Amino acid sequence: MRTASELPPRCVVDGSADVAHGQRTRRTRRAALACQHCRRRKVRCNLAIEGPPCVNCRLDGWACVLPPRKLPRCLAPKHERDNDRSSESRLEDGAQDTPDTREQARDNNAACLKPAPRQIPNSSSRESIASTLVPFAYYPYLTVPNLHRLPPSDIAYLDSQKCFNVPSGEFLETLISHYFLYVHPCLPVINEAEFWAMFRQRERGKPFSLLVFQAMLFVASSYLPVEYVKRSGAQSIISLRDTFYKRAKLIYDFNLEDDQLRLCQAAILLTYRCCSTDQLSNTMWLALGIQHARAVNAHAYHRYPVNQKTTRVRLKRLWWCLILRDRLLSLGVRRSLQIHPSHFDVASHSPLMCEDLEDEVHASEVYDATTKKKLIEILTSQCHFAAAVTLQLMTVYPPADPQNLEHALALISARTDDLRESLHYWESKHMIQVSPSDSRWHHSVVFYCQLTSLYYQSARLVLYQYISFCLSAQKNGESTTQDLEASELDLMDALTTVNERVKRFVIDGTAGQLPIGVVAYTVAPQILLNINLRLSRNDIDRHRQEQLLKFYTEISRLYSIRYDVAYISAWIRDIVRVFDASVSRCGLGPSKQRDQPSDGKSQSAISTVDRYPKGGLSELLSRKPAVYFELVAVVDYSISTGRGALEGPCSFTNFPSIESLPRDQEPNPPKSLPAADSNSEEAVVNEPPSWSEMETLQEVISGECDFFSLDGMWPVPASTAGAVLNLSDNESTQLNDAPFLQESSAFTDSLWRDLGLCGE
């Protein structure tokens, strides 16, 4: 037997020949994952290391596409379950493709092999977008935990509804980018840093719920450009929203997800659902989200020890997102809070801060670090705002049965100062103000600052309406009259500021980025602006109100493109029609306009001192408060219950029933008046918006429509305006001293109860 020294050189143990040269033979390791392009070229792919696109696809200008994964056995057709799985197993394990497999992959994925996009596509591009749906198993991170528990019939039904399919390619990238651009900054339900690492497959093995993924796509679809959606194959943004919502809701209803935290995340995102056939779904999803959050003890996040920081922060962001949605929904749709101070005292706990979201600052793919930090500061400001309006919402929209009038009047004097001080303290300490002309900040920073300001001014409007109602019901002295006048000034100031915010959204071109909840914030100001136009005394005021209504017309048009809110236009028309009937029935009819004094300088000085001279809503609120407060009650009742404008309780006695009005009757549009003389000093005081600011409203300002309806929703053609406005010289509508029905204590009590219904 020969020894090792006698063996041939090629048989030497341990490769000593290579060792002699300082090298060791090492077997080449195969990549765990490779894209289609690298498989076809038979070259090494670094997709699993650096994420898509790999370096080869990036240099060659091709889309980095993964090979299709095999469907779960329960989803695959029966004839495919019996086929040999060797070829697809080799694909998943990174093995070499056979010639037949490579040829089949070339045919099936030829459409996907296009130049890789370098950025989010521009909506002006006319190229078609490939939004092909793929099974969720195509993406290794998407999971459906309870899929194996469903019977085949349920799986077949869900598959027929495309619940197991998600978009792919460029369309999916655009949806995800728009989600983190417009939804995540003020509703950080998920961790952005963890999501991008999972989405880019930099971290493997972390699952993500298909339910939450479909809910994200549902919310993000509202912010896509219209032309982009049409080129993707969808009929409209509304239909695309409905499609994603239906898929997410079916997954939720069939209990395919069992993680309470994931269920809560999906429910929070689905609170953005509201349509003409399901107007209360946002509140329903919020209630479900609170239940799921309590199941994982999110309301007790502060009790977790410091060494469990990850769990503590995850639950904290979840619970504060629920608080934000609860406060903003209550303020917008006039419903009572679902997270009461007795359940969780927001004032005694710190809100979401920068240290809670610090891992997202440098991980965002849509915002730079500086912008991300500023957006987190705005989020913190909104959390403080949610705490500031909690007592106000509990007072104005009580969760229990509304209190009687005497008890409320006894509390209002004690609570008024606290409610005012709470809002004033938030404005002075936590409100972030950024000028629209400041070029240092990203446009999203300016947008979210203006959106937060809209929430704040809407809270002021609700507060001073409530205070004015309680003070007008007291009528017990000169001090009450002075307080009422001061409250009226604050109310009109809040209404004017809301109009300015709406105007700024349209001028800046950011009205299309507003969330669906803002629709409710603009209904009451729009109706009040319409009524103010009807009661305006002089030509300058009427011209100014018409100009502001044009901005509401434009923002309503943008709403109708993205959200199913056409029923709100019908509400506004009905309420204005009923108000017109009340004007003619109750002694608020037209009277001849008083002659203007010849002393222009003195009148200009008076207008400068008194920002809101008596006339319009201010005079209506002073002389006939019952009309104003019942008008507000009707608006609040419609928004809170989702019913028609006048399907409310019979105690709305000042307004006639909508059935008593002729069906063909429409509110008369205001008379078109010439612009005031530029040399007039009064015109300078009441200067309407300049035409340069109206560049985005060319279609509205064009000569095709000279007048606007009172609801601000539809223009009146110029050809028919002459027939509609065949009026006499005594044109202006003014208030007289005729009694307006009976303003008794019984009526006040009934109106108080109906105001309380808005919180039910």
Give residue 144's pLDDT. 95
Q: Is the pLDDT score of 478 beyond 60? A: no
Q: What is the pLDDT of residues 428-438, one digit of tens each?
A: 999 998 887 77
Higher pLDDT, 203 or 219: 219
Distance, in Å, from the CA atom of 128 to the CA atom of 230, rounded to the nearest integer, reads 9
Distances (CA, A) of 229 to 168, 181, 381, 415, 527: 14, 17, 34, 49, 32
Q: Is the pLDDT score of 748 beyond 80? A: no
Give residue 334's pLDDT. 92
Give residue 95's pLDDT. 36
**Residue 209 β-bridge partners:** 143
Tokens for 328, please give them: 């903003």
Q: Which helix (H) or strand (E) holds 182?
A: helix 169-182
Give residue 405's pLDDT. 57
Q: Is the pLDDT score of 463 beyond 90? A: yes
State the angle between helix axes of 169-182 and 210-220 in degrees (0 to 180), rounded to the nearest 10: 80
Average pLDDT, whole number, for the chain? 74
The b-or-e profile of 42-68 (16+ CB within 10 A means b, else e) is eeebbbbeebbbbebbeeeebbbbbbb
Q: Which stretch, 106-110, 123-127, 392-396, 692-696, has highest mean pLDDT?
A: 392-396
Distance, in Å, from the CA atom of 713 to the CA atom of 579, rounded to the nearest integer, reads 17
Tokens for 638, please give them: 């419609």
Give residue 104's pLDDT. 40
State the Cα angle at 312 between 311 and 317, rounded to 5°: 100
State the Cα angle at 577 between 514 and 522, rounded to 5°: 15
Tokens for 683, please give them: 């015109």
Q: Is the pLDDT score of 189 beyond 50? A: yes
Strand ranges (E), 613-728: 705-708, 715-717
Q: Is the pLDDT score of 664 beyond 60? A: no
Are 292 and 264 a contacting pair, CB within 8 Å?
A: yes
Q: Which residues contact 500 (CB under 8 A, 6 or more apart)?
A: none
Distance, in Å, from the CA atom of 168 to the CA atom of 112, rounded to the nearest integer, reads 10
Are 257 and 144 a contacting pair, CB within 8 Å?
A: yes
Q: What is the pLDDT of residues 355-389, one digit of tens each?
A: 999 999 999 999 999 999 999 999 999 999 999 99
Tokens for 495, please give them: 């209404």
Q: Is the pLDDT score of 633 beyond 50? A: yes
DSSP 536: -
Q: SS3 sequence, 39-81?
A: HHHCCCCCHHHHCCCCHHHHHHCCCCCCCCCCCCCCCCCHHHH
Distance, in Å, from the CA atom of 420 to the CA atom of 341, rounded to the nearest integer, reads 19
Identify the sign of the CA torsion 405, 406, 412, 415: negative
Distance, in Å, from the CA atom of 335 to the CA atom of 93, rounded to the nearest integer, reads 55
Give residue 520's pLDDT. 92
Instruction: Find where tokens 């991170």 sit.
Output: 141
Distance, in Å, from the CA atom of 691 to the CA atom of 670, rounded to the nearest integer, reads 20
The b-or-e profile of 385-413 (16+ CB within 10 A means b, else e) is bbbbbbebbbbbbbeeebbebeebbeebe
Distance, in Å, from the CA atom of 542 to the CA atom of 676, rounded to the nearest integer, reads 11
The number of beta carbons lying within 10 Å of the beta carbon of residue 103 is 11
Higher pLDDT, 671 or 67: 67
Higher pLDDT, 387 or 440: 387
Tell me the residue type at 440.
R
> What percent of the chain shows pLDDT beyond 70?
65
Are 455 and 514 a contacting pair, CB within 8 Å?
A: no
DSSP notation for 132-173: --EEGGGSTTEE-TTGGGS-HHHHHHHHHTTTTEE--HHHHH
The number of beta carbons lying within 10 Å of the beta carbon of residue 362 is 11
Q: Please, which pLDDT band fits residue 27 given cuts at 50, 70 and 90?
A: low
Kindly state the average pLDDT of the residues 535-543. Answer: 83
Distance, in Å, from the CA atom of 399 to the CA atom of 189, rounded to the nearest integer, reads 26
Distance, in Å, from the CA atom of 52 to the CA atom of 615, rounded to the nearest integer, reads 64
Q: Is the pLDDT score of 749 beyond 70? A: no
Are 332 and 521 a contacting pair, CB within 8 Å?
A: yes
Q: Could you tell me which of 495, 500, 492, 512 has the C-alpha nearest to residue 436?
A: 500
Instruction: Find where tokens 């779960």 sit.
Output: 72
DSSP 616: T
Whole-prediction pTM = 0.71
Give residue 124's pLDDT. 41
Kindly state the average pLDDT of the residues 457-484. Answer: 81
Q: Please, which pLDDT band fits residue 681 given cuts at 50, 70 and 90?
A: very low
Q: Is the pLDDT score of 453 beyond 80? A: yes
Give residue 586's pLDDT. 55
Are 27 and 57 a contacting pair, CB within 8 Å?
A: no
Give residue 446's pLDDT. 93
Kindly state the average pLDDT of the residues 556-584. Answer: 83
Give residue 412's pLDDT. 64
Distances (CA, A) of 328 to 268, 537, 757: 13, 36, 19
Q: Is the pLDDT score of 49 beyond 80? A: no
Distance, in Å, from the CA atom of 130 to the CA atom of 559, rounded to the nearest integer, reads 27
Q: Which stretch, 5-19, 185-199, 684-698, 720-734, has highest mean pLDDT?
A: 185-199
Tokens for 452, please give them: 């937060």
Q: What is the pLDDT of residues 235-280, one digit of tens each?
A: 899 999 999 999 999 999 999 999 999 999 999 999 999 988 888 9
Distance, in Å, from the CA atom of 352 to the CA atom of 376, rounded to the nearest integer, reads 8
Higher pLDDT, 316 or 79: 316
State the angle between helix axes of 237-253 and 260-269 in degrees (0 to 180), rounded to the nearest 10: 160
Q: Please, which pLDDT band fits residue 87 given cuts at 50, 70 and 90?
A: very low
